[in-house]
Structure 1
């Protein structure tokens, strides 16, 4: 809806219509009616093709369009003076069809009509698989996956230096900045060694890649497409591509390549999901598992395991400090009482000494 007041000019009204979501656009111009130039407002539907019409939504709008803007409306509040749009007529491979828009898709090919064949002559199109383009996309994906899995494997196998414990404030003051940096680098090494969340995630990623994918009655295996795992033990899950074999498969049957990576949906059975959907779910679950342990920037310390442990340790420290303060106060009282007793004994000894002298 738009709001029009008595203070609005015609130009204001047109501007409001054009910036709204009413489904129409408006313009004002002077049109020659055979005798003179008359200032005219025209509406144009944003819908394409034949059968479109412009209609007032309610009585108030109809009254404004007829009374204030001068449009003629029929009994259904539709404009009576209009020029109907036409559908795009196109013939593809001898089959004639009509389309509501100049942009449409037939058999997986998207067409954009720019002119008529009366002006340009018949148009010939050909479609071929972009083998290099598809290959480069797959290679880019595999390279990024390898970077991720190599990084995770490095963390899982990183050496842990147990003799390098976290430094205290006094220890840091006694060391140079470089010494502190090198020490803390050793102290942090191996913190994620054999971490259960990361280890489970990397194992599942390997399963996601090498498990059979079922789509449209066919079964696909990654090795059929020239993608295999590295034989190096330390590069567990690292992928390698046989370029010639993969390109040949893309040229021969590009749909099978698409099925391998993208088939299925989030609701499909695991075996019916493509590799991309599988690893997307695995990465999300791995992140959640890590967050349940280490948290994230939006979580409170009581929402994840390490935070809960820190809170527990902090509470224990506070309780221990309270106990130490209690013990300290008790000893202070005892020492104070002992000092008082010694003072009294000294006074009594002094008094007795004076009596003996007399």
Structure 2
């Protein structure tokens, strides 16, 4: 900016004149920048909404791509106190009566008692064996029962024994427990060394015997080393909780159609929400004369075309293939999906394999086809990322244009001040000359100025 006190010679408000001229030059260009930026930001927001809708839809396809989801089983029990059960896809529908006679337990053995768990016991070695695997700990003269306990628990070679100290009325004992249940996981302890070591650890006492779990399945006896019984019933895992020969738990294995139905309904809902978003972003409302941010853009039309094309193949039964509508999923007159609940229930009950193949057949199933379409848009380096990069480039160019405009306007403002200051100086000089001439005329004899 030029002089701060301008217009003194001419009496003009030069500051305001320059401001008006600069604003008149700058305002249309700034308005253009603002409009361009608003349009780009609107498009960025629209692309974000579109990406979110497609990602949500893609999430709904994940379970439909997994054939195991269509073969899931559900397990029901007439009581829950004695066992729980799960079934995988290999389980056969049916019911089974299960009685738990005995739970599996781990073995516990104890040493002789000592009066002071912090005092050294003697010198020697203790060897411990579980189911044919063994390890040993060296006992030094200064090692107390607490030290020996820590050596057992911290041993890198420990084969599955946990040691602790239990104090009863006769003294403190080192109690060693097998980490695994079952009769095959019994502990054998052998001590060597001086007499104190032999007296304390040479002859251990069994505090709790190892036991196998015993259950009866429809009257057939099954023995298990632990309380999880796998494979006794094909595809079924039993987790035993409590034993009672007088109580029988009836478990029933059935097809889990409810989860599959929920997955299909979630897919339909996500598809419709996605297509509604696509429609709204590219639509034009004739009544309000309002256009969507992507109206006229090929992107929404491309998504609609590909989605409807993939679905259309599964509504065409001209080649004798399976149709979605055969299983209770159809399209309405607006191109949205709808579910016939009763028809879908019947299909999942009687044609679960066919429904599963329609969705989850690798590469050719509907879920895979739709996922591939969506992935081409949302993946790293995909269509959306390319569009985002392009839009960000436009914002960067608008920012550069604003900086260039600011530079030009500063130069323009300085030029105007220079011109107006020169004019102001010239007017000031002319006024001074005029005043001098007037003074000279006034001083001439016989000259009378007329005012």
C-alpha distance in structure 1 between counterparts of 2:371 and 2:219, whole Å: 40
Higher fraction of strand: 2
Q: Which runs of 5+ in 1 are unaligned?
A: 1-8, 55-66, 73-81, 164-185, 213-218, 265-269, 295-303
Partner of 1:5: none
* Aligned residue among 270, 285, 292 for 1:159: 285
Partner of 1:256: 354
Are residues 1:276 and 2:410 paired? no
Are residues 1:199 and 2:333 paired? no
Partner of 1:175: none
Partner of 1:40: 174
**Alignment partner of 1:228: what SS?**
strand
C-alpha distance in structure 1 between counterparts of 2:276 and 2:439, whole Å: 92
Partner of 1:139: 265
* Aligned residue among 391, 396, 405 for 1:306: 391
Partner of 1:226: 328
Alignment of 1:53-68 (within 5 A): none
C-alpha distance in structure 2 between counterparts of 1:208 and 1:108, whole Å: 38
Partner of 1:332: 417
Q: Which runs of 5+ in 2 are unaligned?
A: 1-144, 188-196, 203-207, 315-320, 445-451
Q: Structure 1 residue 108: deviation in Å?
A: 7.3
Cα-Cα RMSD: 5.1
Kept in 1: contact 2:178–2:185 (CA 8 A): no
Distance verdict in 2 for CA 1:162–1:146, change over 3 Å: closer
Distance verdict in 2 for CA 1:338–1:250, change over 3 Å: same
C-alpha distance in structure 2 between counterparts of 1:108 and 1:255, whole Å: 20
Q: Structure 1 residue 83: deviation in Å?
A: 7.7
Partner of 2:166: 29
Partner of 1:3: none
**Alignment partner of 2:254: what SS?**
coil
**Alignment partner of 2:174: what SS?**
strand
Distance verdict in 2 for CA 1:338–1:104, change over 3 Å: same
Q: Structure 1 residue 207: deviation in Å?
A: 3.8
Kept in 1: contact 2:212–2:224 (CA 8 A): no
C-alpha distance in structure 2 between counterparts of 1:110 and 1:346, whole Å: 111
Alignment of 1:208-227 (within 5 A): 208-211=310-313, 221-227=323-329
Q: Structure 1 residue 203: deviation in Å?
A: 3.2
1:192-229 deviations in Å (ceiling 9; x for gaps): 335444433343333444446xxxxxx75434423222
Are residues 1:110 and 2:110 paired? no
C-alpha distance in structure 2 between counterparts of 1:95 and 1:352, whole Å: 135
Partner of 2:30: none
- Normalising by structure 2, we get a TM-score of 0.44
Partner of 1:6: none
* Larger radius of gyration between Structure 1 and Structure 2: 2
Kept in 2: contact 1:52–1:84 (CA 8 A): yes
Relative contact order higher in (CA < 8 Å, ≥ 6 apart): 2
Q: Structure 1 residue 353: deviation in Å?
A: 6.9
- Normalising by structure 1, we get a TM-score of 0.54
Q: Structure 1 residue 315: deviation in Å?
A: 1.7
**Alignment partner of 1:111: what SS?**
strand
Partner of 1:267: none
Alignment of 1:1-12 (within 5 A): none
* Aligned residue among 339, 345, 369 for 1:247: 345
Distance verdict in 2 for CA 1:321–1:134, change over 3 Å: closer
